[in-house]
Amino acid sequence: MKITQPITPCLWFDGNIEAVAEFYTSIFENSCITDISRYPDAGQDVHGHAVGDALTVSFELDGQPFTALNGGSHFKISEAISFQVMCDTQEAIDYYWERLGEGGDPDAEQCGWLKDKFGVSWQIVPSMMGELMSHPDPDKSRRTMEAMLKMKKLDIAELKAA
């Protein structure tokens, strides 16, 4: 495996990490599974996985490398870590909200956050959100914040109108 980025998020799962990688790579353009390593017969008394079970799956989402680790039930993914998807249009927000939310719980969070079916949190955010939140007019920034706090999926038109 060739390392192309100095930092790669590694997500710990308990189960079918091949399905995880297939799901994410089906959503984002320019994405692919780059490598799958499998548990060998060594260490079964420690890791408890069957020979041939996926140990890690390396994949890229629009060029960003990720690793999924089939580590077992020791650790759980939490909302303390999330991935931002910056969107230029409402159509892009709608697409990622719908696709990443498939089988998950998009209503579990708010302000553009959703939790997918694997428990991973995503922020589906308009790319101009930083500009809206740091507008030179403090009243505009406040109104943007107030509007955002009322939303689950973010609405660009409503945020701009705030």
Alpha carbon distance 144, 22 (integer Å): 36
Amino acid at 72: G
Mean pLDDT of 22-34: 97
pLDDT tens digits along 126-149: 999 999 999 899 999 999 999 999
pLDDT score for 2: 60
Alpha carbon distance 2, 147 (integer Å): 45
Total domains in the chain come to 2
Q: Which residue has the higher pLDDT, 152 or 43?
A: 152
Of the residues 48, 70, 92, which one is the last residue of a structural domain? 70
3-state secondary structure (DSSP) of residue 124? strand
Question: Which alpha helices (H) appear in the chain, and where do they start and end?
Answer: 17-27, 44-47, 90-101, 129-133, 138-149, 156-161
Q: Assess if residue 42 is contained within a domain.
A: yes
pLDDT score for 57: 98
Q: At 111, which CATH number?
A: 3.10.180.10
pLDDT score for 84: 96
For residues 105 and 140, membership in a common domain is answered with: yes
Three-state SS sequence of 67-112? EEEECCCCCCCCCCCEEEEEECCHHHHHHHHHHHHCCCECCCCCCC
